[in-house]
């Protein structure tokens, strides 16, 4: 008898910085989404695919929900809206102490969702039993249609249980992607994201948010990958800060990125980084399209 196969789209939404990317990476087992302590790290919808003998989970990590302040953020919120449209299961993540969504309209969509909703109460390692019980009661009342799971994505607490529940809830369906595929994103996307993560970690203030990465060359042989990437900034002053004294800051970004990329691709990496000024790219529709924000 043919064993039935389940497959579906599981979309993860929530405010910035609640641990969506950490959860997705725990599920997929690879660092697909960049994880830093700065808000708004994820700018795109990133698909991660988890395959089993009789199931395929297509996970989508979305940007944190914000009130958009400029065009790039509008585009980021469109990714979140589309997450409601094609989900089979919705995972809504909140963290201990959080009481509301940044956008009430999204909240209504969760409330009236016709699909299963799993509400994950993350970072419970930062709370005590009393606070946890209060929070569970609060969210039960606020989102009565959701199943609530207290978790710690970072410590992997209760994450396997959530994963099992997702498999139970998946609809019967053939696989949507080849079974050996991890993501729908090309290699250059992960190069860009890794470099961007290093910039988020190494620079303060607005610098990381004014930056976009374009990988212009990606040449792979059996033993080595040669990469040439451009770091795009909005102003000359930002270019100077990225490069640093005698190029030291830029060199550190390149070294840190190379270490991670060698782990990710399992090969030796040679990476060259350049910095270019592209004035006000975040408000330029053509530029946003080029960087994959406007679908």
Query: Does 20 show up as a binding residue in the annotation?
Result: yes
Identify the pLDDT of residue 267: 83
User: What pLDDT does 52 receive?
Assistant: 82
pLDDT of 43 reads 41
Give, for all 295 residues of the chain, the pLDDT tens digit: 456 889 888 888 877 677 777 887 788 765 444 433 434 444 445 567 788 888 888 887 665 544 444 444 554 455 455 556 678 898 888 888 776 655 566 667 777 778 898 998 988 888 888 888 888 888 888 888 889 999 888 888 888 899 899 999 999 988 877 776 666 566 777 788 888 888 888 777 667 677 888 887 878 888 898 888 888 888 888 888 888 889 898 899 999 999 988 887 788 989 999 888 887 666 666 666 656 555 4
CATH code that applies to domain 6-169: 3.40.50.300
CA torsion angle 212 204 190 156 (round to 10): -150
HSE-CB for 109 with a 13 A CA cutoff: 18
Token pair 């990714």: residue? 79
123 annotated binding-site participant: yes
Cβ contact 71:54 at 8 Å = no
Fold: same for 6-169 and 187-291: no
CA angle 236, 282, 288 (to 5 degrees): 125
According to the model, what pLDDT value does residue 169 have? 95
140 marked ligand binding residue: no
**Domain ranges, ordered by start, for the chain:** 6-169, 187-291
Query: Is residue 21 part of an annotated ligand binding site?
Result: yes
pTM of the model: 0.56
125 known member of a binding site: yes
Helix (H, G, I), strand (E, B) or coil at 287: helix
Count of CB atoms situated within 10 Å of the CB of 66: 16
Is residue 261 within 8 Å of 193, Cβ to Cβ? no
* Closest among 209, 214, 257, 206 to 232, alpha carbons compared: 214
Q: Which of 116, 127, 169 is nearest to 151 (CA)?
A: 127
252 is in an annotated binding site: no
- pLDDT of res. 66: 44
| 63 assigned ligand-binding residue | yes
Does the annotation list 192 as a binding residue? no
Residue 282 has what DSSP assignment?
G
Pairing of strands 89-95, 117-122: parallel
The CATH class given to the 187-291 domain equals alpha beta
CA–CA separation, 99 vs 141, rounded Å? 12
Residue 64 marked in a binding site: yes
Residue 16 in marked binding region: yes
């Amino acid at each position: 008898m043919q064993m039935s196969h389940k497959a579906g789209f599981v979309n993860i939404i929530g405010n910035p910085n609640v641990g969506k990317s950490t959860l997705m990476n725990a599920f997929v087992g690879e660092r697909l989404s960049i994880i830093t302590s700065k808000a708004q790290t994820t700018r795109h919808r990133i698909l991660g695919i988890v395959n089993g003998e009789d199931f395929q989970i297509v996970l989508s990590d979305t940007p944190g929900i914000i009130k958009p302040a400029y065009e790039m953020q509008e585009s980021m919120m469109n990714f979140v809206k589309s997450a409601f449209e094609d989900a089979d299961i919705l995972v809504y993540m909140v963290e201990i102490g959080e009481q509301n969504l940044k956008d009430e309209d999204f909240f209504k969509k969760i409330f009236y969702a016709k699909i299963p909703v799993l509400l994950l109460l993350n970072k419970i390692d930062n709370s005590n039993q009393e606070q946890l019980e209060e929070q569970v009661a609060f969210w039960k009342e606020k989102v009565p249609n959701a199943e609530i799971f207290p978790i710690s994505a970072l410590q992997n607490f209760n994450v396997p249980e959530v994963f099992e529940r997702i498999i139970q809830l998946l609809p019967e369906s053939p696989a949507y992607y080849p079974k050996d595929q991890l993501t729908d994103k090309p290699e250059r996307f992960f190069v860009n994201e890794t470099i961007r993560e290093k910039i988020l970690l190494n620079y303060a203030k607005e610098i990381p948010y004014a930056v976009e990465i374009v990988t212009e060359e990606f040449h792979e042989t059996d033993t080595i990958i040669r990469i040439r990437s451009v770091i795009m900034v909005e102003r000359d002053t930002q270019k100077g800060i990225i490069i640093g004294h005698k190029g030291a800051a830029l060199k550190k970004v390149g070294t840190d990125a190379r270490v991670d990329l060698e782990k990710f691709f399992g090969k030796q990496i040679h990476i060259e980084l350049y910095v270019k000024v592209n004035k006000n790219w975040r408000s330029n529709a053509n530029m946003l399209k080029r960087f994959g924000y406007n679908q």
